[in-house]
Structure 1
Amino acid sequence: MTRVVLVHGIAQQLKGPETIAEAWLPSLNDGLALSGARTLPRDDVSAAFYGDLFRRPGHRGLGEPPLDASDVELGLEHELLLSWWEAAADAESRVPGPNTTGRLRTPLIVQRALNALSHSTFFAGLAEGTMIGSARQVRRYFTEPDVRGAAGQRLARAVTGETTVIVAHSLGSIVAYETLCAHPQWQDLTLITLGSPLAVRGLIFDRLRPTPHGGMARWPVPVKRWINIADHGDAVALMKELAPSFGTRIQDQTVNNGARAHDVRPYLTARETGLALAGALN
């Protein structure tokens, strides 16, 4: 019985639905426990997994072919990296901003962005190729119809008649929103979005389906309640509030995730997330 469907975000291509569900459930139950609610058994939770759509095919070399600044495509990939850089610099004093002159200059603005992001808490320890790959997954979702369609189908198959809540993180919130809009026959669902970039104008918001009109996006018909939760320092969730773009019925809330502002685990363990989930389940 799937009461809660989980929708993951970027950089999960080497995992699977069972791996995601097993990894998320303890944190999800911690949030429920903090809210004073009963925890969920494993059978109540499933994951809509689409990460394999971004997994590279096998080749004779070891590991994945490395990506560097020269591989970043102009357009969405380029603009995403720059926007993450600006957001990280605004949130963290140790991250040099785009207007900061560094000791070592590089002609590639993308390389400067990657160098700066390596000092941020979210991207610290990640290889340049991983950062580029994350931006590339967002670009591929919006520009490759097969990928976009398949991701939505994965979520549609995971939702059952017993499903009451969809919990979506990062890119997964885009998949969840578009899939919910495409299935108006579903009823009485609660949507909980974590670290969502849905309201980022120019990069994400204007590319959504259905297309927003007059600066407002359409409300997904199956959703009776929508709680959006964001950390102030989350560089991916550039716009922390969704209500101005999706309607005042959304409950925007903020949490403090510590050093890992975009990590799904502190989002799930937050009491605010637990209260939102408990309210939907009860």
Structure 2
Amino acid sequence: MLIDTSTSRPSTQTTQAPSHMRRHDDAPDTADLFARLANLEDGPERDAIRDQLVKAWLPMAHRIAGRFRDRGESVEDLRQVAALGLVKAIDRFAPERGAFESYAVPTITGEVKRHFRDRMWALRVPRRVQELRNKVRIARRELTQTPGTPEPSVADLAAHTGLTEEEVSCGLEALESFSTLSLDAELSGDDDGYSLADTLGATDSSFDTVIDRESAKEGLRRLPERERAILYMRFFEDMTQSRIADQLGISQMHVSRLISRSCAQVRAEAMGQRGRRGTDGRSTAV
């Protein structure tokens, strides 16, 4: 739903109170319109009065949206959000509650704040962390109002806000979570510029090899000398099972069984499960 936010003045059909009775220039006297709205069923007449109320109070919604400028969202988008909050306030307001402005201001403000909380964060963070971020942001602004003032430390911010240093640090980290930088963003303005993605490391498959080797060492040490020799000839000298069998004077089938059994035992050792062993501490090879 898009609302025309270009209107900055109330409709000429709106009943205006004398200027000396207004709290602001954009607070029109619309009590009669609200009274009529409350007594109408859904239909063209109710929609027309509702539109008049929106146009009459839209400048106030714009003013509230302006309080949130310079926070990473365009003013026009903020005005749209505030206008939606205004529509909600008009639909929910009951004239017996008192002045519409007293009800509408917190309703519109809450709608804009929810927009920042739910739609503007690049990373989803808990509401408590968002509140810490806001306190830290306001404190930094207050402590650096004087030109030339150095950036406040964590301790300075903690003393100013009444938060702990840990909470301030959490709020400072959240300040960096509000927006993200594309991996394709150029980090250098010259011809040899590079992107953020170029600074990221790649996965080194050798780490897995090192981990596997270290995990297998103890299991290999526990193998009998013949089984260790067979594994060495098979996996490090790349000898075939038939050639190993001829060199050791045993059958190729026996070599195959010893390799399978030794590998299973080493794997069990690496996984923290001791393989089945004979009572003399040797493998139960046949």
More helix by share: 2
- TM-score normalized with structure 1 length: 0.22
- TM-score normalized with structure 2 length: 0.22
More strand by share: 1
Question: Larger Rg: 1 or 2?
Answer: 2
